[in-house]
Amino acid sequence: MSGMAVGRRAGSYVCGVDAAMDVIGGKWKVLILWALSERPHRFGELRRAVPGVTEKVLAAHLRELEADGIVHRREYEEVPPRVEYSLTPRGVALNEALEPLGAWGKANVLGQAPEPVA
Amino acid sequence: MSGMAVGRRAGSYVCGVDAAMDVIGGKWKVLILWALSERPHRFGELRRAVPGVTEKVLAAHLRELEADGIVHRREYEEVPPRVEYSLTPRGVALNEALEPLGAWGKANVLGQAPEPVA
DNA sequence: CGGTATCCCTGTCGATACTG
DNA sequence: CAGTATCGACAGGGATACCG
């Protein structure tokens, strides 16, 4: 269950939706967004909030989200290293734009068989 | 950068959004939905409407979307084979739920650099 | 704590050829 | 026209180990 695609067509998009898919097209990105929408998280917190993700992939996704202007990375210069990730205004807007999709998924994928369309 | 993932966790979802991502997580699925939202398409029409997709992948995506209750496949028993794909009510609802995301992508990914958050 | 470096597995996707 | 069958390529993602 890996090796999807979508990824980084960098400008050759047909519509806004597939452009957005490029941003949230990682396996754990929406889960990261969801966690950060509640409150800022530290790296270790995120790892626990997104069960199953590895450090490598989590770090890679965070870097991409940061590059896309979705998450903000704040590094505290303290003795025990501490980094906090939070949503940028753009990230907040993305999350809000994702809400109808979440409602659809909740109603049409979760909690029922794939058949009952009505 | 290709090879997304997400794929078929079949029930172990954390929220509605990642459940929905499982349905639209193919490389060309949102483009297929977008084309079908305008009007029903035949197989060959879809191939032209979704530039770059191969027959194999297009057929596979259509089968998955059909299994998920998103598209309806109507086969006409005619001399020149003819099949028409259209959106089910659930597919129409999915498209509507995708609209805010499309607007976000249009405003935040298309038409500008990744920086200008404001 | 917060990562990075390696290696490998996997699935998805792509190209071509062929069938009803 | 509308697919299916094979084959192979590719890149993301997982596991583990290690560093500042």
pLDDT of residue A103: 96
Mean pLDDT across chain B: 88
- B72 domain residue, yes or no: yes
What's the pTM value of the predicted model, to 2 decimals? 0.87
Higher pLDDT, residue A11 or A21? A21
- Tell me the per-residue pLDDT of B15-65, one tens digit each, with 9 for 90 and over: 899 999 999 999 999 999 999 999 999 999 999 999 899 999 999 999 999
Cβ separation B5–A27 shorter than 8 A:
yes
Count how many domains chain A has. Answer: 1
Find out whether B83 and B73 touch, Cβ atoms under 8 Å. yes
Q: Please report, in angstroms and rounded to a whole number, the separation of the first and last CA atoms in chain A.
A: 30
- B2 domain residue, yes or no: no
- B93 domain residue, yes or no: yes
Neighbours of B6 (CB within 10 A): 23
**Residue A74 belongs to what domain range?**
16-100
Q: Which nucleotides of C are covered by protein (CB under 7 A)?
A: 1-6, 9-17, 20
Cβ separation A30–B9 shorter than 8 A:
no
- A110 domain residue, yes or no: no
Q: How far is CA A118 from the centre of its chain?
A: 30
Cβ separation B20–A93 shorter than 8 A:
no
Residues 67-96 of B with CB under 7 A from strand D: 73, 80-83, 85
**Distance to chain B for A19, nearest Cα, Å:** 6
For residue A68, the 8-state DSSP code is T
- A84 domain residue, yes or no: yes
pLDDT of residue B110: 84
pLDDT at residue A1 greater than cutoff 50: no
Q: What is the mean pLDDT of residues A36-51?
A: 96
pLDDT at residue B116 greater than cutoff 60: no
pLDDT of residue A118: 45
Q: For the residues of chain B, what is the DSSP string, one character each?
A: ---------TT--SSHHHHHHHHH-SSSHHHHHHHHHHS-EEHHHHHHHSTT--HHHHHHHHHHHHHTTSEEEEEE--SS-EEEEEE-HHHHHHHHHHHHHHHHHHHHTTTS-S----
Q: Crossing angle for the helix pair B29-38 and B89-108, nearest 10 degrees?
A: 110
Q: For the residues of B45-59, what is the DSSP string, one character each?
A: HHHHHSTT--HHHHH
Name beta bridge partners: B74.
B84
pLDDT of residue A9: 60
pLDDT at residue A7 greater than cutoff 80: no
State the CATH number of the domain containing residue A38: 1.10.10.10
- A55 domain residue, yes or no: yes
- A105 domain residue, yes or no: no
Higher pLDDT, residue A71 or A3? A71
CA distance A116 to A60: 38
CA distance A55 to A47: 7
Residue of A nearest to B51 (CA): A14
pLDDT of residue B1: 45
Higher pLDDT, residue A61 or A10? A61
Length of chain A: 118
* Nearest one of B107, B48, A18, A2 to A10, comparing CA atoms: A18
pLDDT at residue A75 greater than cutoff 50: yes
Element (H, E) at A41: strand A41-42
- A11 domain residue, yes or no: no
Residue of A nearest to B116 (CA): A69
